[in-house]
Amino acid sequence: MAKSNSTSVNRQKDIVSAAIEVFAEMGYYRATTAKVAERASISQPYVFRFFSTKEELLLEALKVSFERINEAFARVIQSAPQTSLEQELIEAYQDIMDEHRSEILLQMQAQTMMEHSVAELMRESYAQIHDNVYRAFKAAGLEAPMEKTMLFLARGMLCNTAMAIQLPLLMKINE
């Protein structure tokens, strides 16, 4: 029974990974669960075994993408020296952008969605990132930690846009 449960968990992760890619490529509204199933090499009814609606699948995909950011930032906050905290957070985010581009594109699309559940998840997720970064900057004794937090988040969003439109010039901040 444990093996079956493990297989189910792996298949669910495969479905979410496929959904992230499909939603990022096609956009949530054009994407279908049939396309997600095709990308995950499973049947469409199998998708519905785990997710009763496409919106539920989107919410899980967004949660996975934000968890990745929060976990990466938590590792940096726990281990980085105060003097290099901001730079190491930037590098952690850059790694996510490089390795998980579709997750960032998915988040960007979700910022414009009006569905209540999506908008609520986006507010909660960004607020959590904001709070974690602010607390870390404050604990590190950085001057004007709220301002630094806002600039850090704004630069991240600018980097997202630069990545999406393939304009790396907007990503250079250390010149």
Q: What is the DSSP letter of 170?
A: G
Q: Which fold has domain 2-171?
A: Tetracycline Repressor; domain 2 (1.10.357)
Q: What pLDDT does 146 receive?
A: 98
The overall average pLDDT reported for the chain is 93
Q: What pLDDT does 173 receive?
A: 57
Give pLDDT tens digits for 5-28.
777 888 999 999 999 999 999 999
pTM for the predicted model, two decimal places: 0.91
Provide the pLDDT confidence category of residue 1 given band limits of 50, 70 and 90.
Answer: very low
Percent of the chain surpassing pLDDT 90: 88
Is residue 118 within 8 A of residue 62, CB to CB? The reply is yes
Q: What pLDDT does 7 receive?
A: 78
Give pLDDT tens digits for 104-162.
999 999 999 999 999 999 999 999 999 999 999 999 999 999 999 999 999 999 999 99
Instruction: Compute the Cα dihedral for 72, 22, 50, 115 and give only its sign.
Output: positive
Cα(55)–Cα(115) distance, integer angstroms: 9
Give pLDDT tens digits for 40-76.
999 999 999 999 999 999 999 999 999 999 999 999 9
